[in-house]
Structure 1
Amino acid sequence: MAHHKRRTNELFRKNGGSVLQELENLRIFTREELKKITKNNSHVLGKGGSGHVYKGILEDGTMVAVKTAIEVDEARKEDFTNEVIIQSQMIHKNIIKLLGCCLEVDVPMLVYEFAPKGNLYDILHGNKANRYQRLRLPLDLRLDIAAESAEGLKYMHSSTNNTIRHGDVKAANILLDEHFMPKISDFGTSMLLSRGEDFTALVVGSMGYIDPVFSQTGLLTQKSDVYSFGVVLLELICRKPTIYNEHCSLVIEFRRAHEKNGSGRAMFDEDIAVMEEDVFVMEEMGRLAIECLEEEVENRPDMKEVAERLVMLRRARNHGQWNYGSPAHHCRKNNFAAALGTDVSRTTSSSTVPLIPAMRQEFPNL
């Protein structure tokens, strides 16, 4: 018993317990509490970047997700504790909430809120273990998911006291609650960076999403997240994974179609590319994705602009009251496109910063 207690105390100190136990909004779970919550890790939800993710239930019936963090040593203790502190302070409806951690184990365990609908990748592309596979997703819901996910990333980038880069933005890391509210999750890659650093010697990420600049140089910036989010936008409007038909790249094929036709319409998901007004919204999302995927980092918009444009697009769709059967349709469509910074008569893929005042003049009820 004495040996077990000494070992537990050593692990607690090694994993930064002396610092983390002082946080008011973070619960410190004991090893025994964690075993009880997860029923001794009996229900595996999936595998994250650092290890397995387990389902758990707190004493009050709240469902949680328990996942393995990074292995901590003296060299990485400060980085780990700083990242946990930052995560515990990120309070936003579109970011998965860190509830607590267990430090009395070899590798720390983090306890998060539970997202019952699973992740966006499985819902879009299917998963045999997921009962929501290939769920019908109307365009409005996809636009909601895009706009709310962008809001979460914008908050990470600009609404906190620290420079935060996610580093692994992808559909599988966008979780959905019971109301399909998206929540950004899995900050494992950001933990590879010490505070104030921009470069990492270990480049990790998911093929198909990773920023080429980050892949080639190790420079991880907030614009790297913008690039990855552009890929997610394409998945939402095309409902194709990053690699499909065995050898086709979603980014390459969409760019090719957009350059050839000034539109990605040929690749849109046929389930929702039916009504003209729906296609127009998907066109705008596709144009924004193309900008996010610019190879030159400085040419990409930041997440604040991305989120703003998606929100304005959603509001205009909800309140514009467009009549696509009327003679005034083309006039209103062009006015709306101009407000977003695009020209529907062009065949190029370029677009500019959205003219928000012009949109408000055209749609005064927004």
Structure 2
Amino acid sequence: MAAPFEPHHYVARHVSDIPRSGIREFFDIVQSMPDVISLGVGEPDFVTPWHIREAAIYALERGKTGYTSNLGLLKLREAIRTYVEREFGIAYDPKTQILVTVGVSEALDIALRAVVNPGDEVLYHEPCYVSYSPSIALTHGVAAPVSCSAERGFALEAEAIEKLATPRTKVLVLNFPTNPTGGTLRRSELLKIADVVLRRNLLVITDEIYSELTFEGEHVSIASLPGMRERTVFLHGFSKAYAMTGFRIGYACGPAEIIEAMMKIHQYSMLCASIISQEAALEAIQHGEADTAEMRDQYRLRRNFVVNAFNAMGLTCHLPRGSFYAFPCVKTTGLSSKEFAVK
């Protein structure tokens, strides 16, 4: 007689230990409730600009429905090279140092899998996007969070990195402007962090998906600082700046050896990003600057209104300098963040 089959016994332990995303849990709850506005998922409420949608439609009409190079369309990688050099001051070879991915989430996942060995420590700041710790766990790396405070505008301090780094520390993950706090880093702060990175011989993975949505001051990429380009994997994409979340299109730039390692994982899991999304992304990066500026202006107005409203009702909320999030403190309610969200 066959033993009873229990599927949960076959789920890998390091996967079963990972909790489901709380954001997606609330997303599912809201979907089942009438007349509720979801503020949980980081998705623009703007419609993708027509000329970008039209580029996707035109790609379909021309029969552009096949695979592309694993690295992505060369014309898109060349456009990314031009954009990144112009906007961030970083030069990459489109043939060996740029990889088009299925969103920045995939780029982060394969960047970590390409460089982290079991037991390697990965530093990242908290509060942060929900996928960082689980993505590190899936590599069998050790997640080491660095706390950022509201009093400091949720900026990451170099001293905190220095304090937590050990001989096993290999990678530092950055996300500025930050989801969910809207925190940013000034050039002076990044220079101090870069000094720690160089002395500690760390690799940086920087997720700069919200860079175009910076409201105060200039956005500076750590990869543009002296000595940092060759030890940084720069991640970016199209979801936030161009309201293209459903297109699932991002990219990674970095040292050729690391991009090659990432491409191997991408090659055997995703093959390539959708050619239709790549054609739309090409239109966005070449002709979408005005769309981004218009959305940024609207986000700034909303930010000011929401932050003032939170503070007026007694929920302390710092002024986010970037992204499209507000992060109020709910301690005065006596509720946990989850209890507050449910109520």
Does the TM-score normalized on the shorter chain lie above 0.5?
no
Question: Under a length normalisation based on structure 1, what TM-score does the superposition of the two structures give?
Answer: 0.23
Q: Which has the larger Rg?
A: 1
RCO comparison, higher one (Cα < 8 Å, 6+): 2
Question: Under a length normalisation based on structure 2, what TM-score does the superposition of the two structures give?
Answer: 0.24
